[in-house]
Amino acid sequence: MFLKLTTSLADASILLPQFVVYLWTFQWKRDIFFGMSKGKNTETRKSEVLQGTLDLMVLKVLDALGPMHGYGIARRIEQVSEQVLQLNEGTVYTSLLRLQQRKWIASEWGTSENNRKAKYYSITKSGRKQLALESENWDRIAGVIGRLLRLEGQE
């Protein structure tokens, strides 16, 4: 069974073979998408995060908490996810670089809590606009997926 969902801002594909769920999408320009780990026991696995969702989470953390360094952003996302998400700094810094290149965040050097030099990131005005667009898109796609997961078999 193959379902393809299309909206004006998003194009997501869901493949549902037996017990394995593949939910793969990619970020392209203004579109934000998400992904799930496949074929692993949900009790023991950590969720994989694709760049679109990580970018969205980073923007939200900076919007909600103000300027932070990369390590602090990663730990906050892990904390809010109740350790379901485990992020390495390389993944977060790649996201931060991408967001900075798009001018959705800005950075400046400062001193961390440990009295070390650290780069602090903050969301820009255009980043807030993008966060609003992406949040709306996320809500729409999550609603569609929620409705699909509640579908009952037709007899």
Nearest residue to 69 (alpha-carbon basis) of 107, 111, 121, 109: 121
For β-strands 11-15 and 22-24, DSSP reports them as antiparallel
Give the global pTM: 0.68
Q: What is the pLDDT along the chain (155 residues), one digit of tens a residue?
A: 334 333 333 333 333 333 333 333 333 333 334 444 445 454 445 556 666 799 999 999 999 999 999 999 999 999 999 988 888 878 899 999 999 999 999 999 999 989 999 999 999 999 999 999 999 999 999 999 999 999 987 65
Give the largest CA-CA distance in the chain: 65
CA distance linking residue 55 with residue 28, whole number of Å: 12
CB atoms within 10 A of CB 105: 24
137 burial level (CB within 10 Å; 0-12, 13-18, 19+): buried
CA distance linking residue 119 with residue 45, whole number of Å: 31
Q: Spell out the domains of the chain, with CATH numbers in brackets.
A: 2-149 (1.10.10.10)
Residue type, 35: G
